[in-house]
């Protein structure tokens, strides 16, 4: 550009953020990537990834454009994987809001662009590589699957440990490795930590068949992220979900146990009619619990309900000792002994602080209603009269202990704004116990409540009347930011 009297105005060049990372065999690239910043578009307050197209490959970016706001990684040579799922050569992956790693058995080079905190973990001795014990565990589970090929039942694995011990990462890795086997295994993945949610919103317990490759770009906090209802390059895993509605399993252990039992019944039903699922087995990601009698008792309940025959304890010697003592003489409902194995947690495991977890929950809610960078969804907004919906609230702990009601019926109130309500697979005419522990049909978001006009504004994944489906208002996840502005 030239202006008379001033001459040529230089164009401000933006320095390239693309760099190359070379990993030798058994090395890991460990990174922490930021969440996309929020932006307001079309009256909706969304993450930028909900509207923007996927980040372009670093090799095609212009020097005059702004630097990327999301971390993009591309494998340019060799082989690499993220938590058991292989990266495709030359394909850019956008990894937003993740604390994770990319590892290699044979060596590789990565092309990286965008902001992140990262370092390379070098390993010279295979015995010092944390993934070796995970691979050995996978091969042991494969032996059980091969023995079950003649009509038996495959392994049922429970992964337990302290917070930030890598439980979800190991569960994700074992599921991914199983699906990569010749012929493709179809294990069931189970998520029992209501703080995270697996393939659903937080506050739930869920299970799904993992019969296809997992998405490298998902899994920011738990085993797998919230599924979308539209088409996707990676086949969507559709879960069966039960709503617990509280943050910690210790808050209302009886309700959590009931939800876990219902989920285990659904998994048993699928196993009985599906030979592939029966042979592939189950991988259960357990919540972190205390090592006292009550916490161990919750894990024992899971072992009993899912007929777990292999318990993996990550990092905690005391929890391992308590489970050895509690399960040493037990047998599964199939008559098998229960093996308890302790593994060291990886040095690459990092603490997920509350700020990170809150952003993860917000991202899950946004993705459920609006999709992500790869696919934009169009949720429906509707005005609903108070009399057209039936809402039940899970009582506060003090109220629950006082009158032992599992649910209390209520009219919409202003405090309900910005909460997600759970749509139950039940009828408003069913008993409260049936409604409370029915499976989940979906979720709606309350944008506004107008008591004077006796109506509320609801955001739903699809249009249409809610009919006689009861809505349940729980205590988790916490109220979300205003999605509609």
The annotation places the binding site for ATP at 28, 99, 164-169
SS (H, E, C) 58-109: HHHCCCCCCCCCCCEEEEEEECCEECCEECCECCEEECCCEEEEEECCCCEE
183 burial level (CB within 10 Å; 0-12, 13-18, 19+): exposed
As a whole number of Å, the end-to-end CA separation of the chain is 40
How far apart (Å, rounded) are the C-alpha atoms in residues 159 and 344? 12
> Residues annotated as binding site?
28, 99, 164-169
**114 contact partners, CB below 8 Å, separation of at least 6:** 17, 33, 55, 67, 68, 69, 70, 71, 72
Instruction: List strands edge to edge, sheet with 98-103.
Output: 85-86, 81-82, 98-103, 28-33, 117-121
- Are 206 and 198 a contacting pair, CB within 8 Å? yes
CB-count burial class (<10 Å; 0-12, 13-18, 19+) for 359: middle
User: Contact, 205 vs 262, CB < 8 A?
Assistant: no
d(CA 38, CA 359): 11
Task: Report the C-alpha gap between 161 and 63 in whole angstroms.
Answer: 47
Is residue 471 within 8 A of residue 444, CB to CB? The reply is: yes
Structure tokens, 244: 């617990």
Q: What is the dihedral of CA 160, 158, 137, 97, to 10 degrees?
A: -60
DSSP 8-state symbol, 439: B
């Amino acid at each position: 550009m030239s202006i008379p009297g001033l001459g040529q105005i230089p164009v401000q060049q933006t320095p390239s953020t693309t760099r190359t990372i070379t990993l030798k065999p058994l090395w890991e690239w460990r990174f922490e990537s930021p969440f996309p910043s929020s932006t307001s578009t079309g009256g909706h307050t969304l993450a930028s990834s909900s509207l923007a197209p996927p980040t372009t490959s670093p090799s095609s970016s212009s020097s005059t454009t702004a630097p990327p706001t999301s971390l993009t990684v591309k494998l340019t040579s060799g082989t690499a994987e993220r938590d058991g799922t292989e990266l495709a050569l030359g394909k850019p992956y956008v990894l937003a809001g993740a604390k994770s790693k990319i590892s290699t058995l044979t060596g590789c080079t990565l092309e990286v662009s965008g902001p992140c905190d990262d370092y390379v973990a070098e390993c010279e001795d295979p015995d010092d590589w944390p993934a070796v014990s995970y691979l050995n565990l996978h091969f042991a589970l494969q032996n059980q699957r091969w023995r079950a090929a003649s009509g038996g039942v495959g392994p049922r694995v429970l992964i337990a440990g302290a917070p930030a011990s890598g439980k979800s990462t190991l569960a994700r890795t074992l599921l991914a490795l199983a699906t990569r086997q010749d012929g493709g295994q179809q294990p069931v993945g189970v998520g029992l930590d209501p703080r995270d949610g697996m393939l659903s919103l937080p506050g739930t317990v869920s299970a799904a068949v993992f019969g296809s490759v997992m998405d490298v770009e998902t899994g920011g906090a738990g085993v797998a992220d919230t599924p979308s209802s539209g088409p996707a390059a990676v086949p969507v895993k559709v879960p069966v979900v039960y709503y617990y509605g509280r943050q910690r399993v210790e808050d209302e252990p009886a309700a959590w146990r009931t939800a876990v039992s219902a989920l285990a019944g659904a998994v048993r039903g699928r196993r009985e009619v599906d030979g592939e699922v029966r042979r592939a087995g189950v991988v259960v990601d357990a919540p972190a619990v205390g090592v006292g009698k009550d916490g161990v008792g919750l894990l024992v309940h899971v072992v009993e309900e899912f007929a777990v025959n292999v318990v993996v304890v990550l990092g905690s010697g005391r929890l391992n000792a308590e489970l050895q003592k509690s399960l040493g003489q037990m047998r599964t409902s199939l008559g098998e002994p229960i093996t308890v194995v302790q593994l060291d947690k990886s040095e690459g495991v990092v603490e997920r602080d509350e700020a990170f977890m809150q952003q993860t929950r917000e991202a899950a809610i946004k993705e459920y209603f609006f999709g992500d960078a790869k696919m934009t969804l169009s949720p429906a907004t509707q005005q609903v009269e108070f009399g057209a919906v039936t809402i039940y609230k899970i009582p506060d702990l003090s109220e629950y202990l006082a009158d032992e009601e599992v649910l209390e019926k209520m009219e919409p109130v202003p405090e309900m704004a910005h909460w997600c309500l759970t749509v139950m697979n039940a009828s408003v005419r069913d008993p409260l116990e049936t409604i409370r522990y029915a499976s989940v049909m979906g979720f709606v978001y309350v944008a506004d409540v107008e008591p004077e006009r006796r109506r509320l504004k609801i955001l739903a994944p699809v249009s249409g009347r809610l009919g006689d489906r009861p809505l349940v208002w729980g205590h988790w996840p916490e109220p979300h930011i205003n999605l509609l502005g």
